[in-house]
Structure 1
Amino acid sequence: MDDQALVQVKVWDGWVRLVHWAIVLLLGLSWLSAEMGWIEIHTLSGCTVLTLVLFRIAWGFLGSETARFRHFLRSPLAALRHLAHFPRPEPDRAIGHNAAGGWMVLVLLALLLVQPLTGLFSAEEPEFSYGARGPLADLVSPETCAWLTGLHAANFDLILLAAGLHVLAVLAYRLVKRHDLLRPMLRGWKWLPAGVESPRFGSPWLAATLLALAALAVYGVTRLG
């Protein structure tokens, strides 16, 4: 397929890209604040991650076509078939996540949801000064609090592992299949064969409302303690 047969097609809305790159930055901030013992910043960063993940889940049902779970979540068998063809160089015709990438998105969202939820109930992590506690730590027993604190630390390692695999996959697609997955997530569009229709995009007013509701929900939960 020559370059003349390709056109620019918008595939990602700004909301998906916002969540993607904001969480990348927030994970770095969460790690740094833990290392430095900045409990207030760490808590704020975690609550922001929770807000963005809740919004992304809602946007996965109500948002743009490429953001919806039903658009990119296929059967595990379809994902395996896709990976079986991985060594074969071929033009990138995917609008949104491919069959394997969709499952990685689901895994990352699940891990990112667990992280701030367990952080709300964590207490006295060694990185922080004595007595540092999550906003809801007093609502559970000391044993449950200790278990959730350990899970909070272990889950972050799983997030780093999943993120590392994600980065390696992006690099592998670039080197083996010549598919550029990075720039579309930065710019929102990619080169696709002429005649491919742009996906339907969700209302920005709906997105702003869902984001505000997610922020209010997180704020309300943190006040329960």
Structure 2
Amino acid sequence: MPKPAKTDLGASAAADAQLSPEMVRVWDRVVRSFHWTLVLSFVTAWLTSHSSENIHHWAGYAAAGLVAMRLVWGVLGTPYSRFSQFVRHPATVLRYLLALLSGREARYIGHNPAGGAMVVVLLAAMALTALTGWLMTTDTYFGVAWVETAHSLSAHGLLVLVLFHIGGVALASFRHRENLVRAMITGRKRKAEPADIA
């Protein structure tokens, strides 16, 4: 008699059982695929902004679709992908940043409060950039100066945010002796220690 197919939950549990006892699965495939595909979309749109209008537009549409998908997954997804897990009160974010400045910040298994805030801001900035870019292609807003200015400002602001994001990832990786880029590829991070926050 054939064995019943494993459910996604069962497959995930089986995969977790094979992990090193020092590692835990944090980022699911949807989050990891979203992250790297959005990176590709943004880089493509940035590099083609003055050279290939067609590719630039499609990269923007892809980014908009990815943001919409992430919003849905932020509600329905796995525990560490949900906004309820990593979106925190501004006061909590401020306390974390002050602790960071003094070198006493806690290690988080999921997004730390600053990282969670950055996710929200990056999603909003990407959505605004895609929206203003799309408006520039419509009959109503084509050639309208304020729309072009808004698109340019949001795109350049998004680049600044991406640079801050990369800096934050590098800092957290250094401070907590953990390669966060690799974690976003494999989905795995070092398991929580007593002082860490799961």
1:30 aligns with 2:45: yes
1:88 aligns with 2:87: no
Structure 2 length normalisation: TM-score?
0.80
| Count of paired positions | 175
Contact 1:89 1:177 in 2 (8 A): no
Looking at structure 2, the residues matched to 88 and 6 of structure 1 have their Cα atoms a distance apart, in angstroms, of 28
1:54 aligns with 2:68: yes
Deviation of 1:161 after TM superposition, in Å, equals 0.5
Higher relative contact order (CA 8 A, sep 6+): 1
Contact 2:122 2:158 in 1 (8 A): yes
In structure 1, the residue corresponding to 2:191 is in which secondary structure?
strand
The residue type paired with residue 63 of structure 1 is: G
Deviation of 1:90 after TM superposition, in Å, equals 7.3
> Structure 1 residues 102 and 141 mapped into 2: Cα distance closer, same or farther (>3 Å)?
closer
Residue deviations 1:152-188, cap 9 Å, x none? 1111100000000111111112233434322211110
Deviation of 1:91 after TM superposition, in Å, equals 7.3
User: Which residue of 1 is the match for residue 83 of structure 2?
Assistant: 69
> Structure 1 residues 77 and 33 mapped into 2: Cα distance closer, same or farther (>3 Å)?
same
Contact 1:30 1:42 in 2 (8 A): yes
Give percent identity, aligned residues only.
Answer: 34
Please say which of residues 100-109 and 79-88 is displaced more in the overlay: 79-88
Looking at structure 2, the residues matched to 82 and 194 of structure 1 have their Cα atoms a distance apart, in angstroms, of 18
Segments of structure 2 that go 5 or more residues without pairing to the other structure are: 1-19
Residue deviations 1:67-88, cap 9 Å, x none? 1111101111111222222243
The residue type paired with residue 26 of structure 1 is: S
Query: Of the candidates 120, 128, 133, which is equivalent to residue 106 of structure 1?
Result: 120
The residue type paired with residue 168 of structure 2 is: A
Segments of structure 1 that go 5 or more residues without pairing to the other structure are: 123-133, 200-225
User: Which residue of 1 is the match for residue 29 of structure 2?
Assistant: 14
Contact 2:24 2:191 in 1 (8 A): yes
Looking at structure 2, the residues matched to 71 and 180 of structure 1 have their Cα atoms a distance apart, in angstroms, of 21
Structure 1 length normalisation: TM-score?
0.71
Deviation of 1:89 after TM superposition, in Å, equals 6.2
Residue pairs, 1:126-137, within 5 angstroms: 134=137, 137=138
In structure 2, the residue corresponding to 1:9 is in which secondary structure?
strand
> Structure 1 residues 57 and 90 mapped into 2: Cα distance closer, same or farther (>3 Å)?
closer
Looking at structure 2, the residues matched to 180 and 23 of structure 1 have their Cα atoms a distance apart, in angstroms, of 20
Looking at structure 1, the residues matched to 91 and 106 of structure 2 have their Cα atoms a distance apart, in angstroms, of 22
